[in-house]
Structure 1
Amino acid sequence: MSDKEPMWDSLPPGILTHAFLQLPIKSIITCTCVSKKWKSLIQNPSFISTHLHHSSSNSNNHLFLFRLCPNEGTMWDKREREVYTLYSDNNNNNEEEDFNEHTRFDSPFPAQSGSVILRVVGTCNGLVCLARDLLSYDNSYILWNPCVRKFTRTSRPIVSYSTHGGFEETTGFGFDSKTNDYKVVRVVRLLDREDEDGSSLKVEVYSLATDEWRMVTTGLPSRCVVRGREPLAFVNGALHWIAFRRTITNNLQSFVMVFHLGDEVIREIALPEFLNGFDGDQYWVRMSISVYRNSLALFHQQDFSSPCLNIWVMKEYADESSWTKLVTLSDGQCSREYVPRALGFRRSGEVIIEMHDGALISLHFESQKLKVLGITGYGYIFDHSINGNGYTFFDSYVESLVLLDEPNRAVTY
């Protein structure tokens, strides 16, 4: 060791890496200011990947990200910033309050006129994908890592109102382990085309590595209706969402559309048989897909003559015969004005449900026991068409250093 070399810089990279992995993310970020050597090691893509694997495999690190309602009376103020909170799931059924606040994030994105709040598309490896598309055709996207206080905006998509006219879309976000790349996928149905050759459906994929969008042109289904902005599920390397296909009798056949981020091929998974054969009016029965362990769950909201919430799970992934109904909420829990909305699952398998007033509860399927979590979401907003878009967001989350190695592209706030 030279006389001028600090003692901490003389430590071998392997020892430094092991030491950094034991630290919380805020402390790791602080360590980048100690020396150039430490900064170079921490911002190296190899260390960021190692840290992500370590954080993901930590059995004691069970976190969930909530996007919750700002202070009452200010949620529509364009200066109001949204509330994003990480909770740790202690999963102790003997405690009334087993969700503990872990971290609260300051959002760098204030609401703006014309698009009141951003929509959370999804999270993956610490990145949160946000879209400004709820009340406009803006269709701009942000990839945000709140742990390192960095975000990047995607380039403009190919399909827009100015280029293709009116459209309906659904957007998904996930990680392609084959190319080590994060991807945003837009499935767009052009409203001025109703044909049978699939040309009304457009699929485009954004790559974070290249900051470019490109079209997927092969294997697109025909006569297909995407489900809009309902939540999607990213599991087993693929995005899943609800779609419909019109039959020759003008009924709607529902199915799960699957887009694998590795081979970028669209596949289909059938839904329980009773959901098929509805007439056109039943299009407004809301269904969404969620991750259930390493498989899928179906949330089926019916708010007509018999309002209820049905929750199904696919016990074996891609095995259509394994769809099993877990529970139906009706009567006291549901009304024509509002059907409770399922948000996702805890690691115990309990489901998180948002009630009319925004209160979040946890339902244990076997005991049918409801537990009030002491957390409040947006609840009922204006009407079902807006509420169905999912202002309240809930998903599992892993703290990561992703975007830390993008000093030129990512914005620091």
Structure 2
Amino acid sequence: MSDSNKLIRWGYLPDEILTHIFTFLPIKSIIICTSVSKTWKSLIQNPTFISTHLHHSHTKSQNLFLLLNISRNDREVYALHKEDDDPDFTEYTSFESPFHAPAPGFHEVVGTCNGLLCLSYDHANDIFLWNPCVRKFLQLPYPDVTVDTHGVSCTSFGFGFDPKTNDYKVVRILSIMGSPSDFVKSRPVVEVYSLSTGEWRMLSASASLPPVCAKISHRPPAFANGALHWIAVTNDKKRFVLVFDLGDEVFRQILLPELPSYTGKMMWTRVSVYGNSIAGFQRRVETGQINIWVMKEYGVASSWTKFSHQCPTLGMPSPCPVGFRRNGEVILLNIGLELVSWNPDSQNIKNLEINGYFDTFFGSYVESLALLDKATEGVVTY
């Protein structure tokens, strides 16, 4: 059979069979297929197919990698590392950022979800959604709340997917600072960007922020069960988990475990995704001791369970936990900005031979076709 006859037969395959075949192809092959014909391109860029492909990717464990934000030769590089059955954490691929932050800074990772990265520069107004797999990005419109409109503010970001509306959302929580002395009395303002509408809107639900909330961590929140989770601080210096449900767009709080008085200054540093729930990290800066607490039953404060005991034997002066591997090991950022993998059961430490930086981002990642159906509306192909 000639090659031309083969192409004709492919052209007569029913759409259902073609989309089924496309679902099992690697991302790069799918992108190539969009150039074969208008019919194939239309099938692949259909939002239903993109959603089906994402669901298939989530069910294939070999498609799950871990994302690291690092720098090489003063360039922003985002590397995906193999996770399953790979103790060496081998690099799978890497992407050089298409954005150029003013020296000497780097873009901060607000979060990652379904193959999309949300980036900002210095918590400012330059915010991007980027899918490196399909080489597309979208610069979000400037928010309505800025320094010019409301004055200086302390900003916390979040990014995730709302399964109720099938929409991606970016959240900005701003504590407006009339003056440094008024910080604890600052007025919180909440804005939400919706990818489906392409617009920011200010929430009246910002009033539902817990009235005791004085400060919210600037670190990227943990996205789990359709909600964002930050470490927050009350007026009387107590820490709790601030939760924002992306579907209902309301806040709630989860209490953290009460610590015995003898623990001293064990500080809650961040929340991390742990399976289908969350975990909280504590560390003592002076000694490098670490506590990890896991919420066994999501949303039930009484289910907090200590995942590990204090660990003064790690051999590092001030390790900072940044997240979990799928095998249960913890990734730590050493004082020399080296990333290491620590097994809490065996106490073994493995140097991953990867250099990070102070705000190195670490999280799960799945390759996807998100943004591929956005041919216009400000989406840039590079």
Q: Is the 8 A contact 1:9 1:38 kept in 2?
A: no
Number of the residue aligned with 1:324: 305
Number of the residue aligned with 2:29: 27
Provide Cα deviations, 1:203-255, integer angstroms capped at 9, x if missing partner: 11110111111112232322422333213100000000011111xxxx31211
Number of the residue aligned with 1:400: 368
Provide Cα deviations, 1:1-51, integer angstroms capped at 9, x if missing partner: xx9x93322111111112111211011000000001000000110110010
Normalized against structure 1, the TM-score is what?
Answer: 0.84
Of 240, 247, 266, which aligns to 1:262?
247
Question: Given residue 16 of structure 1, which amino acid in structure 2 is its aligned partner?
Answer: L
Greater shift, 5-14 or 20-29, is seen at 5-14
Distance 2:338 2:168 in 1: 33
Distance 1:228 1:169 in 2: 9
Of 5, 8, 16, which aligns to 1:6?
8
| Aligned-residue offset at 1:302 | 2.5
**Paired residue secondary structure (2:16):** helix
1:292 paired with 2:260, answer no
Question: Given residue 158 of structure 2, which amino acid in structure 1 is its aligned partner?
Answer: G
Distance 1:254 1:357 in 2: 28
1:63–1:307 CA distance, 2 compared to 1 (3 A): closer
Number of the residue aligned with 2:344: 365
Of 176, 198, 216, which aligns to 2:203?
216
Q: Is the 8 A contact 1:170 1:227 kept in 2?
A: yes
Greater shift, 34-43 or 314-323, is seen at 314-323
Question: Given residue 290 of structure 1, which amino acid in structure 2 is its aligned partner?
Answer: S
Number of the residue aligned with 1:168: 154
1:354–1:63 CA distance, 2 compared to 1 (3 A): same
Question: Given residue 172 of structure 2, which amino acid in structure 1 is its aligned partner?
Answer: R
**Paired residue secondary structure (2:156):** strand
Provide Cα deviations, 1:88-147, integer angstroms capped at 9, x if missing partner: 11335xx5x2x222111121012324x61100011000000001125xxx3221000000
**Paired residue secondary structure (2:326):** coil
Q: Is the 8 A contact 2:227 2:246 kept in 1?
A: yes
Q: Is the 8 A contact 1:66 1:84 kept in 2?
A: yes
Normalized against structure 2, the TM-score is what?
Answer: 0.90
| Aligned-residue offset at 1:195 | 9.3
Provide Cα deviations, 1:177-211, integer angstroms capped at 9, x if missing partner: 11111000111111117599x87111111101111
Number of the residue aligned with 2:38: 36
Greater shift, 212-221 or 21-30, is seen at 212-221
**Paired residue secondary structure (2:134):** coil
Of 365, 368, 376, which aligns to 2:355?
376
Structure 2 stretches of 5 or more lacking a match? none
| Aligned-residue offset at 1:286 | 5.5
1:83 paired with 2:77, answer yes
Question: Given residue 107 of structure 2, which amino acid in structure 1 is its aligned partner?
Answer: L
Structure 1 stretches of 5 or more lacking a match? 76-80, 379-386
Provide Cα deviations, 1:44-71, integer angstroms capped at 9, x if missing partner: 1011001000001113322111111213
**Paired residue secondary structure (1:30):** helix
Of 240, 251, 256, which aligns to 1:271?
256
What are the equivalent positions in structure 2 for 1:178-327 lying under 5 Å apart? 178-192=164-178, 194=182, 200-218=187-205, 219-246=208-235, 251-274=236-259, 285=267, 287-304=269-286, 306-327=287-308
Q: Is the 8 A contact 2:159 2:228 kept in 1?
A: yes
Q: Is the 8 A contact 1:174 1:239 kept in 2?
A: yes
How many pairs align?
370
Of 87, 106, 110, which aligns to 1:117?
106
1:354 paired with 2:348, answer no
| Aligned-residue offset at 1:296 | 0.9
Q: Is the 8 A contact 1:170 1:226 kept in 2?
A: no
Question: Given residue 121 of structure 1, which amino acid in structure 2 is its aligned partner?
Answer: V
Question: Given residue 18 of structure 1, which amino acid in structure 2 is its aligned partner?
Answer: H
1:133 paired with 2:119, answer no
Q: Is the 8 A contact 2:61 2:84 kept in 1?
A: no
Greater shift, 322-331 or 288-297, is seen at 322-331
User: Alignment identity in percent?
Assistant: 51
1:363–1:195 CA distance, 2 compared to 1 (3 A): closer
| Aligned-residue offset at 1:169 | 1.3
Q: Is the 8 A contact 1:187 1:203 kept in 2?
A: yes
**Paired residue secondary structure (1:14):** helix
Q: Is the 8 A contact 2:177 2:183 kept in 1?
A: no
1:407–1:200 CA distance, 2 compared to 1 (3 A): same
Distance 1:185 1:244 in 2: 19
